[in-house]
Structure 1
Amino acid sequence: MLCALCITTLRSGCDGQHHKTFSDLQNAAKSGCKICWEVEQRVRVIMKKFATPDSPPSKINCQFAWEYSDRSQQMVFKFDELDYGVYFTLSALKDKKAGDDIHEVISKAKQDIEIDPSKVRDHGKKPEFATSTGDPAVIEMAKKWLTSCQKDHKGCGIINPNFYPKRLLDLSHDVPSLIETRHHKLRDHYATLSHCWGRNEFFTLTKNNLDDLIVGIPLEKLPKSFQNAITICKRLEIPYLWIDSLCIIQSNEKVNEDWLEHARTMSDIYKNCLLNIAIDRASNPFEGAFAERPPGALGSCFALVGRRRRDRDMRPKLGDWRTWKCCKNWLNLSVEKNPVYCQISGECDWIDSVGEMPLSSRAWVFQERFLSPRALHFGTDRIFWECRSITRSEGSVAKDQKINESSIFETSEKGMITHKSRRFPYFQYECLRNEWLILVGNYNSRILTMPEKDKLIAFAAVAQEVEKRREDEYVAGLFKGDLPYDLIWTPSLHKTLECPRPAKYQAPSWSWACLNAGAFSTRSDWKWSHPEGAISEILGINIKYVDEKNRYGMVESGTLHIKGRIAPCTWNKNEVRHDDGRGTDWITARVPGIPPTQPPGTEFEGPNIEILPDVEEDKVFSGRECALFLITPDEGLLLVGTGPKDVYRKIGLGFLRQGCTLERYAEAFQERTIEII
């Protein structure tokens, strides 16, 4: 189903502005126009991303472009000057399928275009999909996906049938109840729920109501998302459900023993569930899992499309052809007279319905998705399936995307451990160390409400699984086998200004977990490409955990004993800054005993090291004496004293400028053993 404007635009193949107002686009979308619906959904995601819910784009342009295939082209919608858009693939068909008379449809659209361009006529087609993701037919489709996965995907069913969480919701009766699993002999599977908590209070498990919940939980007390999750489980014939807020005792106590106990087994809880139900669309549990959509929004769509004559000489260079500016000249080609009958399919809605939804922004959800053998996602307008073998989308005309993995990690023929997680399909590394940095950066880009308590523990289950496969010891966010190299980390540049150093302690300064920003290593390949290696040595690491039974969780304190070369340095209030061409604003400083790297009168007279603070600490430490502790011959940690002798805290990185080699100026760096806290 298409609106009058989309039908005539496709028929003419002409570039130009789409609906004149956002209101017209909304009207067409609500009436069932497949194209307008997907465009509106994308606009809403962008508006939410930029926190402009009341400021939709003033202009939406439509243009056409040929793909490399001779039998398909693209319909592209761009929003104002934003670098965002929606792509529709127009696949040419040899024979017109039986159904509506296409010429009659076009004739009616020409009549409507002058009066109501947003009008969508019902040409006798019956909607192919239900108008809500909560419809029994939709859940029945999900049930078939689940059955197929259990039957055909060997790598997705490796779970421990004897493991159960401490508590579960029993859904076998009309009224759900909480059960202590140690008192029951369970044989069936259980599901888990991933959801956003939001800011408003809702019904949870406490010490005071524990006995009441064991008797029964009135559904009206539960928020909408929990009610929907119970409905989903019953339709999928899953008798038990684990919801964190109803299965873990919630309290304001400084140390919640029940919460700490569950934190130790969080990896097992998600690894051994039959299915993880992810309510991606909702920012709080009151919004619910189910979404409404107009009839025909997900169904197949066919139309006559004006065919463009492709001029290969005008095609942009490979790698740039999809960019907006490079496509402008190429798009403005003449239209051939005879239109082509095409099937219209929208772009994969995974980004809009899952990747950029509220749930994906939460840090706790990272390990839930990472560990669950399979997940059922409830997005903006459809459901998605994700397991360790394939991904599926409701309404998608494309074939299932195969992942071809039997486990999250797999050993290659060369003996190197490689990461083939479905969550990160674009990153293929030869070394698990590099993959660990990707996991850390991805996790750090997400939001934690209480990072001082959750920074490490919300990532603990991932760390535990990686440690098993690496056969290395995990220490407060890092692995011993990667030290001292991985001490050379710095937060993501775009996060530096946004995330000041936390007021409350959450991890040692030498760990990325001490900050709330995506961390990455500046020299992640040093160990492998420089045979001389590091010039510092780790002598010991002492960590005190909040829960001594869980060394993956919260850290009370952590001290790193390290031996190496250190020199005092100072960056002044009049420090020289320069841009390295990558958007990095470097601060330069000087180490006493090393002469200037440039002659007097030049731009960088005097300073001979470059500094990259962890956060904007130049305002705090400017003019104070710091120290540069070298990890490798030309780069190291920028430290500041904490009071006791030889006890420091990391505040950034320092790099010897070109010409200031350690070999020439070794006397400026003393060999000492220090502590970094």
Structure 2
Amino acid sequence: MVDAFAPERADLDNSLLSVDMGRGCAAHVEVDFYEIPDERTRCWPFYFYIQDKMCAMFVAAELKECSNHHIKCPRQDVCLMPKRVLSIGSGDTDKIRIHPSPSQYGTYAALSHCWGQQQPLKVTTANFTQMRDNVPWESLNLVFQDAIRICRELGLQYIWIDSLCILQDDTEDWERESSNMGAYYENAYVTIAADASRDGTVPLLSARDEMWLPSKFVLDLPQCQKVDVIARRDALSSPNNSRGNSGPLASRAWAFQEALLSRRTLHITRAELIWECRSVVRAEDGLKPFQRHSIGLPQQLLECESTSEPHKIWHDIVAEFSSRQLTYDTDRLPALSGAARNFKPLLKSEYVAGLWEKNLIMDLCWVNPLSGPGLATCKADYIAPSWSWASIKSAEYRVDKTGQYPFTSLATVEDIKCEIAGLNPYGHVTKGCLELRALLSNVEINCPEPTEAWKYSLGKDPERVFHPDCILTQSSGSIQRAGATDRLLPFSQPLPCILLGYEQGNDSKKNGTSHVALAPTKDATLDSHSESSTLSPSPDQLYDTRFYVMVLGIIDTSTYSRLGLAHLSDNRWFESAIEQVVRIV
């Protein structure tokens, strides 16, 4: 697929053409023709060197337009600066040094980058005094050097770089500063994103591979018409498309909230420069890159203030964030703490280990999207309680987001507690306990073949959908999440499970078939949301109903841990269930 401009014709149909793409290589390609959207689109889109003056003019023009004309973008360029920034001066001979800037207002850039295998220069308690006086140019890696060149070109004299502005051997400083990182990116005049650099050895300002440069060819049309066409490969650049050509930064968890919160970002990808702010997204040829969005978290929160379900935005954030990579698994909650801090005023709720207390029952309905050989064992380090999505590597929500299938809770929160380590209230969790009042039943879980330990079944009905949180194993008379060194054996064992809630289509309610049957028992208390009249609803009454059931492992006589989530089309498991208070850690 290539993008193509046909300056002399704007009404050409898409065509399959034989095109010489350079280097003596001809190929059949599908070409999309479209009109040039505005005067900012250039017919000769790219330059061989990113440091070409025309590329600098592109960035400067976008900055000027954003600062002066974008209604959705913040107009305040002078903001509260981070505790420390790097002072870089304005010219090549100016001294670079760490500049303490507490309570100081100014204009600065921020760098979003991958540390990678080649660790960058770091500030520590031992070298802080020396680096406050001077940071030698030759001690900086290529990414840092190029970021400084870009800042100087834009007239910015300060830049915030995490490894040089947070004391890396001071736990208290790291906790305090990591909790403020979201604000640092949000207040930055511009964020420079090193999308294509796997580490500091891959420079930002370098020659592009010729495969990304445009090619010009003549298109022969019927009736002897000839049209000059300028085409380029579709880079498939996207902040959510690490399989395209955005580069390694798109796969990093820390970089997610940096992109989410930044007011303006200059993406330096393998194929193109991309400008992204809260109003527009534009590549250097003037077009909007593939699948890129222009709405950061602050703008999303502003636009969703009128909706009754802003928590579903949080579900999207969790799904994207948890699919990304972390060097240290214990950073899972700290790496999202800036986004959580911004989200709290909208939800007006307490934040507990990645979930929100006000919407806790629905927030518990996450699943591990990985299956088959992709299912992993449980991490040895404690990251979060088992009921939190942060306790596993990857999670997503499959509760309805359209409003057509409203969620109704059938469990209530009796108590919830989390112990936080350090100074960041949205960061590391050392312990968590959740007490739910819910209908408690039992289900048999089966694993016939431990060499394929991701294959589990519930009871004897293959239609029941079970999403294990990770590989499971039999331990101490019950089933638990398996560690990397645990021996895997076949098992078949009954396990407790609790009914969290259900979704039911609006159409069935309008047709008078809304029906959730919960069997009353001498110890059971029907939830006020249930509309029960019989013990066994007919299939047509529940044809568009989904029940969410948390499957539990037994730790002791009064404590459980989460093992996974089941989706049921009926609630027959709970026809004789008793409502109890269940303690989950």
* Partner residue, 1:637: 550
Structure 2 residue runs without a partner (length 5+): 3-13, 37-42, 480-490, 502-517, 519-546
Among candidates 256, 259, 263, match of residue 366 of structure 1: 256
- 1:511 lines up with 2:388 in the alignment: yes
Instruction: Give the residue type in structure 2 aligned to 1:642.
Output: I
- 1:230 lines up with 2:230 in the alignment: no
SS of 2:199's equivalent in the other structure is coil
* Equivalent-residue separation in structure 2 for 1:18 and 1:240 (angstroms): 47
* Partner residue, 1:555: 429
Among candidates 180, 197, 200, match of residue 100 of structure 2: 180
* Equivalent-residue separation in structure 1 for 2:187 and 2:259 (angstroms): 13
**What does 1:466-481 align with in structure 2 at a 5 Å threshold?**
466-481=343-358
Normalised to the residue count of structure 2, the TM-score between the two structures is: 0.76
Among candidates 138, 143, 158, match of residue 55 of structure 2: 138
> Quick check: which one's helix share is greater?
1
- 1:200 lines up with 2:118 in the alignment: yes
- 1:623 lines up with 2:486 in the alignment: no
Aligned residues: 497
Deviation at 1:294, TM superposition (A): 6.9
SS of 2:80's equivalent in the other structure is coil
Tell me how large the CA RMSD over aligned residues is: 3.6
Deviation at 1:242, TM superposition (A): 0.3
* Partner residue, 2:579: 671
Q: 8 Å contact 1:190–1:240 — kept in the other structure?
A: yes
SS of 1:169's equivalent in the other structure is strand
Q: 1:619 to 1:129 in 2, by over 3 A?
A: same
- 1:349 lines up with 2:235 in the alignment: yes
Deviation at 1:402, TM superposition (A): 9.6
- 1:587 lines up with 2:457 in the alignment: yes
Deviation at 1:476, TM superposition (A): 0.9
Among candidates 310, 316, 333, match of residue 438 of structure 1: 316
Structure 1 residues 316-355: Cα deviation after superposition (integer angstroms, max 9, x where no partner): xxxxxxxxxxxxxxxxxxxx56354143344653527984
**What does 1:79-90 align with in structure 2 at a 5 Å threshold?**
88-90=31-33
Structure 1 residues 523-576: Cα deviation after superposition (integer angstroms, max 9, x where no partner): 66799636xx322110111100012x422111001100111121233324549x
SS of 1:640's equivalent in the other structure is strand
Among candidates 264, 274, 281, match of residue 384 of structure 1: 274
Q: 1:249 to 1:294 in 2, by over 3 A?
A: closer
* Equivalent-residue separation in structure 2 for 1:455 and 1:294 (angstroms): 35
* Partner residue, 1:54: none
* Partner residue, 1:305: 219
* Partner residue, 1:416: 307
Q: 1:286 to 1:476 in 2, by over 3 A?
A: same
Q: 1:364 to 1:654 in 2, by over 3 A?
A: same
Q: 8 Å contact 1:302–1:341 — kept in the other structure?
A: no
* Equivalent-residue separation in structure 1 for 2:175 and 2:34 (angstroms): 54
SS of 1:464's equivalent in the other structure is helix
* Equivalent-residue separation in structure 1 for 2:564 and 2:289 (angstroms): 48
Q: 1:161 to 1:148 in 2, by over 3 A?
A: same
Q: 1:635 to 1:232 in 2, by over 3 A?
A: closer
Among candidates 527, 544, 561, match of residue 649 of structure 1: 561
Structure 1 residues 114-160: Cα deviation after superposition (integer angstroms, max 9, x where no partner): xxxxxxxxxxxx98754211234422321221122111113322558
Q: 8 Å contact 1:168–1:240 — kept in the other structure?
A: yes
Q: 1:358 to 1:178 in 2, by over 3 A?
A: same
Structure 1 residue runs without a partner (length 5+): 3-12, 20-24, 29-35, 37-59, 63-74, 77-87, 94-125, 308-335, 418-430, 576-583, 591-603
Larger radius of gyration: 1
- 1:611 lines up with 2:466 in the alignment: yes
SS of 1:155's equivalent in the other structure is coil
* Partner residue, 1:286: 201
* Partner residue, 1:313: none
**What does 1:452-467 align with in structure 2 at a 5 Å threshold?**
453-467=330-344
* Equivalent-residue separation in structure 2 for 1:517 and 1:406 (angstroms): 21
Q: 1:354 to 1:462 in 2, by over 3 A?
A: closer
* Equivalent-residue separation in structure 2 for 1:194 and 1:586 (angstroms): 41
* Equivalent-residue separation in structure 1 for 2:551 and 2:402 (angstroms): 21
* Partner residue, 1:394: 284
Q: 1:480 to 1:15 in 2, by over 3 A?
A: closer
Q: 1:26 to 1:506 in 2, by over 3 A?
A: farther
Deviation at 1:382, TM superposition (A): 2.5
* Equivalent-residue separation in structure 2 for 1:92 and 1:539 (angstroms): 60
Instruction: Give the residue type in structure 1 aligned to 2:427.
Output: G
Q: 8 Å contact 2:142–2:203 — kept in the other structure?
A: yes
> Quick check: which one's strand share is greater?
2
- 1:567 lines up with 2:428 in the alignment: no
Q: 8 Å contact 2:237–2:269 — kept in the other structure?
A: no
Instruction: Give the residue type in structure 1 aligned to 2:468.
Output: P
**What does 1:492-507 align with in structure 2 at a 5 Å threshold?**
492-494=369-371, 497-507=374-384
* Equivalent-residue separation in structure 2 for 1:519 and 1:586 (angstroms): 20
Structure 1 residues 363-404: Cα deviation after superposition (integer angstroms, max 9, x where no partner): 100000111100111111321111111112113467999959
